[in-house]
Chain A
């Protein structure tokens, strides 16, 4: 596919042109030190600099916090009419790094699994993605290289690599080519070499390391099913569910109904849920299938490194972004837990 070279200012100008006609989300500062994927406002600066990972990952823009499943209306005859939601608006998720591209790809796999989720499918189809390469670890929590996400490019329509004297813009889909129409960037004939050079200049090691490869972890976690690590870290856990909510591959949801004020209609929506919350696996009558915090931590870790990788065959569902540990009030870090379990099981298989 085609590639182009542009200055950071040209890229910023082009993104602002796109943002005039389509909601374009770009990682921007929020509060004193955090970043968030926010609509690019007119005149807002566009920085391609390394940013601290957004608190909420971009994949959550494909699975919104409160998404309408349907609306309904009771007719005077007593009949109830259920109405599917309106088609989602087009959006551009821009400035998405490799770890978050991998997170979106994992959600794609989950939601396309039969029976495919129609709402996610529609939203995903209406979303263009502009990836941006990561050339240095975002902060001390990063371990994307260890989970194999640093090299991930899938799902992006365009991919940007910041270079010393400009930005390499690679077209990776037809939709990407359409986004670039009229941008007027200079064609680039040696894109692969430029990108490889930029990536070769990355620091080594890149971020933290896992004590076993993702391919080895399912067996290690099966063998360590009753590991005391879960309970030991669980002692500090508040069961608040923040680690789930900030995870790029968490997708579990709760369902709720809201009644319209006239009582004759309403909507059903799905809202983010979290398997760390104590009542997540509770059934009518009060029986809870994971009452202990250690059991819930085990469930979370095994979903990321064993259950979902085994089920979908698309690699680890932990992308190494470090968000869960970064946001945890009790400093419970998934990489630290995994490495303790690996050590306890006598190292990698």
Chain B
């Protein structure tokens, strides 16, 4: 035990104070937060942080900005309960506690020179924006980049202005889907995120696939991919969500069969998940 104690970080569970610089409404339920930390976060795309409101609690939140050298942290938070309800009431100048970054994210170098298909259902776009932002900024280093986003209705779409700017780049295609227009103006397409996959004409050997969305989305996207292309399971990344209370592999909540989502994930290769029946159930 003495060796364990020597290496233990006494601050493992201590948040760092972060100042809210900007808050923006994205939809009726989602707000965008830009925070300034005391030092650069130093994260990988796909990682997450634990966000604290002192006296209220702590929850896992995806990082939505790409890797940065400044002290900025960007997040999108859905009002889903008491804690996120309080966070929604905060404004610029208020503070939050932050721990992290935690988990295993994406290694951008592994995407260099590859065609990339990104399928983001609902809030799945939030963590994947941390991967897409550096990819689009440096799009010459990648092959063809295709992003399919899905939302229930136009009122629930995220980052549309940014998607429009991405679409202008060479070799970048953005396909926006909604399940239903709900009688709202809409210039994207109507259908599920699976609908456009068959007509993309992907080159399976050159393509890396990235998925993030509600649990029900995965098996249908994987079936559709399998029907039209045979992308090797090692080249399909899935960014999973689980309940996380500690972020450091101790509390047990995020366990998926033998994997701790907060340690071995939240980004997994599909080839790893085939041993975990609970992962995509």
Contact = CB atoms under 8 A, between A and B. Distances in A.
User: Contact size class for A?
Assistant: 35 or more
Contact of A112 (B1, B55, B97): B1
Interface in B165-219: 214-215
Interface in A104-127: 108, 110-119, 121-122, 124-125
Contacts of B252: 251-253, 273, 275
A252 B253 contact: yes
Main secondary structure of the interface of A (DSSP, over half): mixed
B89 interface: no
B9 A115 contact: yes
Contact of A289 (B13, B81, B256): B256
Contacts of B245: 253-255, 273
B5 A251 contact: no
Contacts of B15: 82
Nearest to B16: A82
Nearest to A280: B253
Nearest to A155: B1
Contacts of B277: 225
A49 B50 CA distance: 49
A283 B255 CA distance: 12
A287 B242 CA distance: 9
Contacts of A116: 4-5, 7-9, 12
Interface string B101-125: 0000000000000000000000000
Given A255-B251, A290-B278, A310-B258, A118 B12 contact: yes
Contacts of B241: 283
B3 A257 contact: no
Nearest to B250: A117
B49 interface: no
Contact of B78 (A111, A256, A259, A284): A284
Contacts of A124: 1, 4-5
A111 B250 contact: yes
Contacts of A284: 59, 78, 80-81, 84
Contacts of B7: 114, 116
Contact of B97 (A80, A84, A252): A80
Contacts of B4: 108, 111-112, 116, 121, 124
Chain B interface size, as a band, is 35 or more
A15 B278 CA distance: 49
B42 interface: no
Contact of B251 (A119, A252, A257): A252
A261 B5 CA distance: 34
Contacts of B255: 275, 281, 299, 303, 307
Interface string B45-84: 0000000101111110000000000000000001011001
A70 B14 contact: yes
Contacts of B5: 116, 118, 121-122, 124-125
B248 A289 contact: no
Interface string A242-280: 000000000111111111000100101010010100001
Interface stretch (A5-13, A71-79, A89-97, A143-151): A71-79
A78 to B, nearest CB: 7
B257 interface: yes
Contact of A80 (B3, B56, B95, B278): B95
B8 A79 contact: no
B10 A115 contact: no
Given A78-B95, A283-B241, A284-B80, A117 B54 contact: no
B97 A289 contact: no
A310 B242 CA distance: 22
Among A74, A256, A268, A303, chain B packs the most CB atoms within 10 A around the CB of: A268
Contacts of A268: 13, 52, 57-58
B248 A115 contact: yes
A100 interface: no
A237 interface: no
Nearest to A226: B277
Count chain A CB atoms within 10 A of each CB in B4, B95, B246 and give the residue with the most.
B4
B54 A287 contact: no
26 contacts: A69-B14, A78-B95, A80-B54, A82-B15, A84-B10, A108-B1, A111-B4, A116-B4, A119-B13, A125-B1, A251-B250, A252-B251, A253-B252, A266-B55, A268-B13, A268-B52, A280-B243, A281-B243, A284-B59, A284-B78, A289-B256, A290-B278, A295-B278, A303-B255, A307-B257, A307-B258
Q: Which 5 A-B pairs have the closest CB atoms?
A: A252-B252, A112-B4, A116-B8, A284-B80, A118-B8
Interface of B: 1-5, 7-15, 17, 52, 54-59, 78, 80-81, 84, 95, 97, 214-215, 241-243, 245-246, 248-253, 255-258, 277-278, 281
Interface of A: 69-70, 72, 74, 78-80, 82, 84, 108, 110-119, 121-122, 124-125, 225, 251-259, 263, 266, 268, 270, 273, 275, 280-285, 287, 289-290, 295, 299, 302-303, 306-307, 310-311
